[in-house]
Amino acid sequence: MRHGERHGSGRVGWLRAAVLGANDGIVSTASLVIGVAAAGADRSAVVIAGLAGLVAGAMSMAAGEYVSVSSQADTERSDLARERRELETDAEAEHRELAAIYVGRGLDPRLAAEVATQLTAKDALAAHARDELGISEQMRARPIQAALASGASFASGAALPLLAAVLAPAPAIQPLVAALSLAFLAVLGAIAARVGRADVAKGALRVTFWGAIAMALTAAIGRAFGVAS
């Protein structure tokens, strides 16, 4: 029978990437739009700047995630290749190593040896990958998937303040983009906290606070060095 209980830890990987991408998209694009608007630029300049920020940010996130996860994947492949060679050349030593891991986790030596024997008989490399190296099929590095997810989540987040800038009346671009972006961030933080089974209020407040700081700083810079000063 399958174990039906679901745990938040199983969602940590994709949740972190999705929240990080969308959060960055909202904060960076909203801050860029507000800063350019505060400098006295007209709506077309504000929208062009926001659109450029969306494209550049999404590509940057995707490229960065691809490079980072590719490095992780290379390390995993190298570790697995070495483990495969060791299993081929000294299976007994690898069996003792696996049994020692289970002893360290609380099994008595006889039971640990039996568990190691049975798992090795089923799939020796998988057993060592999981219990010695900490690599499982669910957690394997997937660079292309990570890059696409990261870029898409950034673009999705960035589209929200950009759409607000397009639809808002010209005099109200700054306050409306700021208000809506902070609301988006609060919802995002609350959803992320709920999915991860953490404190919802704390999750919403955390992302909203730092988003407000970023927008306030870019608005101040825009006013200080803008064309209307």
Tokens read off for 62: 């995707």
Stretch 90-107: mean pLDDT, rounded?
80
Q: Is the pLDDT of residue 140 over 50?
A: yes
Q: Is the pLDDT of residue 229 over 60?
A: no
Average pLDDT of every residue of the chain: 82
Burial 45-75 (b: 16+ CB within 10 A, else e): ebbebbbebbeebbeebbeebbeebbeeeee
> What is the distance between the alpha carbons of residues 109 and 24, in angstroms, rounded to a whole number?
50
Between 34 and 20, residue with greater pLDDT: 34
The number of helix segments (H) and strand segments (E) in the chain equals 7, 0
In a domain, 3, yes or no: no
135 touches 74 (CB < 8 A): no
173 touches 37 (CB < 8 A): yes
Query: Nearest CA to 188 among 24, 31, 59, 64?
Result: 24
Number of domains, the chain: 1
In a domain, 1, yes or no: no
Q: What is the pLDDT of residues 39-66, one digit of tens each?
A: 988 889 999 999 999 999 999 988 988 8
In a domain, 4, yes or no: no
Stretch 166-193: mean pLDDT, rounded?
89
Share of the chain above pLDDT 90, in %: 32
Return the percent helix, strand and coil in the chain, to nearest 5: 85, 0, 15
In a domain, 188, yes or no: yes
In a domain, 185, yes or no: yes
CB atoms under 10 Å from CB of 146, counted, come to: 22
153 touches 23 (CB < 8 A): no
Between 214 and 1, residue with greater pLDDT: 214
Tokens read off for 28: 């960076």
> What is the distance between the alpha carbons of residues 61 and 215, in angstroms, rounded to a whole number?
20
Angle at 111 (CA atoms; ends 106, 113), nearest 5 degrees: 105
Stretch 203-221: mean pLDDT, rounded?
91
What residues make up the domain containing 146? 12-225
In a domain, 2, yes or no: no
In a domain, 16, yes or no: yes
- In the chain, what is the straight-line distance between the N-terminal and C-terminal CA atoms, in Å? 70
| Residue 3 pLDDT class (50, 70, 90 cuts) | very low
In a domain, 110, yes or no: yes
Q: Is the pLDDT of residue 228 over 70?
A: no
Q: What is the pLDDT of residues 68-83, one digit of tens each?
A: 888 877 787 787 788 7
Phi, psi dihedral angles at 36 (to 5 degrees): -70, -40
